[in-house]
Amino acid sequence: MTVWRDLLPFCEKCRGSRRPIVMVLGMHRSGTSLCSHVLSALGLDMTDHVSGPGLDTPGEDNPFGHWERWEIVEYHDRILRFFNRGLFSPGHDFAFPMAWWADPRVAEVQREITAFLEGRMGIDYFGFRDPRTVRLMPMWHQIINELKLAPKIIFCLRNPAQVARSLNQRDGFSLDTGEYRWFSYTADFFRYTQSAEFCTIEYESWFEDPALNLAKLRNFLDMPEDLSELDLDFAVAQLVRHDLRHDDPRIGEARQSLIRSVYKLARLADHDTAARGEAQKISAQFVTFQRLHAWLHREFEQAAAGAAELRVQEQVATEAEEMAGLREALATAERRAQGAEAVPEIRAELTRLSDALARAQQEVWERTELIETMRAETLFLGQERVAIIASMEAESSGCATLWREANASCSNAKWPRWGYRMMSRRCARRSSAPNRRPMSVPPISPGWRPNSAGYVKR
C-alpha cells in the first residue's frame, strides 16, 4: 500500500506555501476516532500513540484506539480547567468569558502548542483529532496564522439523538444534556469556521456506504488517484466493524425541534451555501442567547461551588466518623490481642507483686516492733537518768553544807593542812564514782591565803 510520505510530487506543492494541517472536529461520539483511524490508514500522520494516556492497549469505549494527539488533548483540557469548563464539569456547556484567548494562562499554553507543532510537523500532511477543538478555535486561528498553516477541516457528524444515547451509556449524561451538548458544539463549529472550507463525514455513512466517505476524503485532501482502490477498500473494511456500531433503531430524531433543524442544515452545509448560512445565523443567535443568561451562569457557579463545598464537608464528616469507628475497632482488637497474648505475663507479674507486698508488710511489722522496743528502752533510761541527777544534786548539797561548816569553824584559826587535803580527796572520790557529777573544792574563804604550810590568816 502506498503511504503518504511516498507521495513526493503531491507534497512538492506544499513546500513553498502554507503547510497543511488536518483537523478532525465534531461532537464526541460522532465517529472522530474512526475517521482519524481511516486517515492514518490512508497514510496521514494522525497520532503517535493509539491507546489512551497511561494505557498499553485501547479501552473498551474505543477498541481500535482513540487515535488522538494526547499532548494536544492535555493542552486543551488545561485551558478548559482555567475557566471551569472541564469536559465532565457541569459548566462545560456555558459560554466562555469575553476575550478568553487573551488570558495570560491561555497565552502560555498557546506558546506550548506552537512549540510542539514546530518540533513535530514536517512537510507531509500532519493532523490531529479532538472534539474539544471546536470550543477553542479562536486560539487555533492565532496558532495557524503564526505558523502559516493551511487547515483542512473534517467535520464528523452524527444523529444528535444517537450521540445523546451514547453519552448516556458511557458517561452517564442525561439525554437532554447530551442533545444540548451536541447543539452547543455544532453551533461553535459554524460560528468559528465562517468561510473556511470543510468536509462533512457522517457517521452513519461508514456503515451504509463507506465508499462515499472515502471518496469525499480523497477529493477533499487532493489525494492522487494512483492509490490502490483494492488496498483502500480492504483497509476500510477492516476498520468499519458493524458489530461495534451501537445505534438504537428505536431512537429516530432528537426531541427538540431546533436541534432537529440544525442537524438537517449541518448535513448540507459543506456543499449548500444557503444551508450553511442558515446554520451560521442560528449559531449567532445562540451566542446572543448565551450572553443574555450570563447572570444565570454566575448564579449556577455560586450554587455549584456551595454544593461542592457542602459535599466536601459531608464527605469529610463521613470519613471522620468512619476513621473514628476504625480506630475504635482497631483499639478493641489490639486490646483483645494483647490480653490474649499477655495472660501468662500478667499472672507472673501479679505473683511477683504479691510476694513483694508480703515482704514489705513483714518489714513493716519488724520495724514496728523495733520502734516499740527502742521507745521502752528510752523511757527506762530517762527514768534512770532522773534518779541519778537527783542523787547527785543531793550529794552536792551535802558537800556544800560541809564546806560551809568547815569555813565557819576555821574563820579565826589556821586551816590545818591535813584537813584541806582530806576534804579534797573526799570530794575527788565522790566525783570519780560511776554516774556521779564531778565536784570541785569549794573556794577558800576570803580571809585566808595559801602558803607552804597550808593556809594562814591574811
DSSP string, 319-348: HHHHHHHHHHHHHHHHHHHHHHHHHHHHHH
What is the rounded distance in angstroms from the CA atom of residue 132 to the CA atom of residue 73? 8
Q: What does the block give as the cell for 371?
A: 520502734
Q: Which residues contact 134 (CB under 8 A, 6 or more apart)?
A: 25, 26, 185, 188, 189, 192
List, for the chain, all residue ranges whose pLDDT scores fall below the cut of 50: 1-16, 411-418, 439-442, 444-445, 452, 455
Q: Is 370 exposed, middle or buried (0-12, 13-18, 19+ CB in 10 A)?
A: exposed
Q: What is the pLDDT of residue 70?
A: 92
Question: Cα 228 from chain centroid?
Answer: 56
Q: What is the pLDDT of residue 430?
A: 55
CB atoms within 10 A of CB 124: 19
Q: Decide: helix, strand or coil at residue 154.
A: strand
Q: What is the pLDDT of residue 368?
A: 78
Q: What is the pLDDT of residue 295?
A: 81
Q: Cα–Cα distances in Å, from 126 out to 274, 342, 359, 370?
A: 31, 74, 96, 109
8 A C-beta contact, residue 270 and residue 199: yes
Q: What is the pLDDT of residue 308?
A: 76
- Give, as one character, the DSSP assignment of residue 57: S
Q: Cα–Cα distances in Å, from 335 out to 332, 341, 422?
A: 5, 10, 95
